[in-house]
Amino acid sequence: MPAGTGFVNLMVMKIFESDKLNKISEILVEADETVGLAESVTSGLLQLAFSQMKNCTSFYEGGLTAYNIDQKVRHLKIDRNLGEEVNCVSEEIACQMAFGAISMFNTDWGLAITGYATPVPQSGGKCFSYFAIAYKNLIKKSGKFHPKSKDMPDIQVEFAVYLLDEFEKMLKKSQQ
């Protein structure tokens, strides 16, 4: 089913701005560049968004949702010792996950996000995420994001929307 039709696409367009998704798609197709995703805290929301973009098979190579350290080490090649030290939630882990996505899917771009969508003792009772945007062998942007929302599903969406916003800005900058 082409992008722009169907129940799932309507839901995605309600969650994510269709202009943003279209712009990301347009820039990646025009640049002939590809993207791979590595996520945990967003539970595949980024993969859902990318799969609904127009011409997604031209640039979206795939994504991985990995929740535990064993999967992040096995598939994304994060450093186990660091992962254990920070419960797999840090800016450095997000960077390693972004590079892991590039390697796993053989892409130009790698987007990654990890964090806490519910307050737990390991997070100091706070919700936050770390993200990274990698291009080839460089981290172009990484950081920490604190949501405004209070409920888990809304927090996960807010995290995904934030990373898509940052990626769109990065792509627009690369066009200049």
pLDDT score of 6: 61
According to CATH, the superfamily of the domain at 18-175 is CinA-like (3.90.950.20)
CB atoms within 10 A of CB 69: 16
Which of 45, 49, 33, 21 minimizes the C-alpha distance to 110?
A: 33
Which tokens sit at 100? 């892991």
CA dist 127 and 116 (Å) reads 5
Residue 14 in this model has a pLDDT that exceeds 80: no
CA dist 141 and 133 (Å) reads 5
Q: For residue 176, what pLDDT band results from cuts at 50, 70 and 90?
A: confident
Alpha helices, DSSP H only, in 16-90? 18-31, 45-51, 69-76, 80-86
User: 3 near 54, Cβ under 8 Å?
Assistant: yes
Only one residue has tokens 């964090």, namely 115
Q: For residue 174, what pLDDT band results from cuts at 50, 70 and 90?
A: confident
Which tokens sit at 50? 């990318």
CA dist 98 and 142 (Å) reads 10
- Ordered by start, the domain boundaries in the chain are 18-175
Q: For residue 8, what pLDDT band results from cuts at 50, 70 and 90?
A: low
β-pair type (128-135, 138-145): antiparallel
Tens digit of each residue's pLDDT (9 = 90 or more) over 116-168: 999 999 999 999 999 999 999 999 999 999 999 999 999 999 999 999 999 99
